[in-house]
Amino acid sequence: MTSVMLLALAISGGILLLQSFSVVQMKALKERLKVHNYSILAQVEFDQQNFSLANLLADQQFNQPNSGLYAIILNDNHQRIWASISAKELPNFSPTDIKVGQWQYSIAKNSNAELFIARYGVKLGDENSIFNILIIEDLKAINQEFDDYRSTLITLLCSAAIFLFIMQLIILRWGLKPLSRLNSDLNNIQSGKADTLSSNYPNELRPLTSNLNHLLKIERSQRERYRNSLADLSHSLKTPISVVQGILNNESINKADQSYIQSQVDKMTNTIRYQLQRAVHGFQGLNINNIPISPIVTSITDAMNKVYANKHLSIHLAMDNECYFHGDEDDLMEVLGNLIDNACKYCQKKIWIQIEKNDNTLVFYFSDDGLGIPPPQRDAILQRGVRLDSVEAGQGMGLALVKEILDAYQATIDISDSLLGGACFTVSFDTQVMSHD
């Protein structure tokens, strides 16, 4: 594309230079013929209707036959009354009326010659007659000069174009050198010799290399997530297994308990499927539906009452009509299950769950009457593997898993003091963002 633009610029520039040179040539020619005209007028003698002018003029070209420079004087009847020696064989040209002091220019053909005619009107003596002085020059020399200039210009422009093309190749080779280095760095990453692209790139390529490094970071994070998903899997099975163990400790198991055990086993199966699906696909591509929230909360609280039966829990649920969650049901199960389990684990007895649905938000509040969480430690417990106690069982991954899921939905989680005396976890979903997921 650049080569085409340079070629077009050279052609247009060449045409402009040729036109300018032609204009300068013609202007110089007209001025030269005017000088010849005034020189001839200075030698004309006119006395009592007698016209006289020497045959030999100062410029020798007028004194040589067919020299290429001619002079002719016509009377008001367009009859030739004088001609230079060089113009003796020239034919008469078409008559033209011209005013005194006026110049008129034209081009005429004479055999193979192209003649430029400068015609000037003049009044001699006291006569009212207007005489025409014709100064004529053969354009052969001027045309030859123009052709020579055009040939020289074409040669120069072609040379300049070749030079610019070579320079362009050199500049392109130099400019593409960082891309070759980028390719080499990518090969090193592929072969395991490097982890990221170096920062030693031109400013123009830094956005590209920065994005590539970001993609590499995401890819490493993906691998890390695969490993973490295995740990998440075991943590997600903790509560269902605890329920099974609690029921199995009873001396007798009736059919209702057997049915409940089966439901918990089914939940473990579904959890395994969900976590493995997350490990392969992440949070994208899971089932997105309008999930009624109330049945899920009820199912989880029923399970918690059995797991923490020794606490005689008092769980209060407050919800605005029927609320729906737009997303993956397993994601909602993980978030609610971990937060409700966390409240049950650290409460004394009372738990308050409130769900509010506004125009653009879906907000969950999980409050308990436990010891609460000190403000300096509220951010830390959302990190993987961090726990504030060493008494209760667990690996410190539940809240980290909740935070990871909420980040995928661009939701927020906030920890504050509960009116019940313990901690209050507030989870807020932007329904507009969820509707576009």
DSSP string for residues in 6-30: HHHHHHHHHHHHHHHHHHHHHHHHH
Q: How far apart are CA 370 and CA 11, in angstroms?
A: 86
Strand partners, 412: 428
Give the pLDDT of residue 115. Answer: 92
pLDDT for 393: 42
Q: Strand 350-357 and strand 314-319: pairing?
A: parallel
Query: Which fold is adopted by the domain 2-146?
Result: Beta-Lactamase (3.30.450)
What's the whole-model pTM score? 0.43
Residues of the chain predicted below pLDDT 50: 284-286, 390-395
Identify the three-state secondary structure at position 34: helix
Domain boundaries, the chain: 2-146, 219-435
Structure tokens at 204: 């123009």
What is residue 203's predicted lDDT score, i.e. its pLDDT?
77
Helix 206-236 vs helix 398-408: crossing angle, to nearest 10? 130
Question: With contact defined as beta carbons under 8 Å apart, do 269 and 277 qualify?
Answer: no
pLDDT of amino acid 435: 62
Give the Cα separation of 403 and 386 in Å (integer): 13
Per-residue pLDDT at 40 = 87
What is the structure's pLDDT at 395?
A: 40
CATH superfamily of 219-435: Histidine kinase-like ATPase, C-terminal domain (3.30.565.10)
- Got the DSSP string for 135-168? EEEETHHHHHHHHHHHHHHHHHHHHHHHHHHHHH
Per-residue model confidence (pLDDT) at position 116: 93
Where are the alpha helices (H) located in 176-254, listed in sequence order?
177-190, 206-236, 238-248
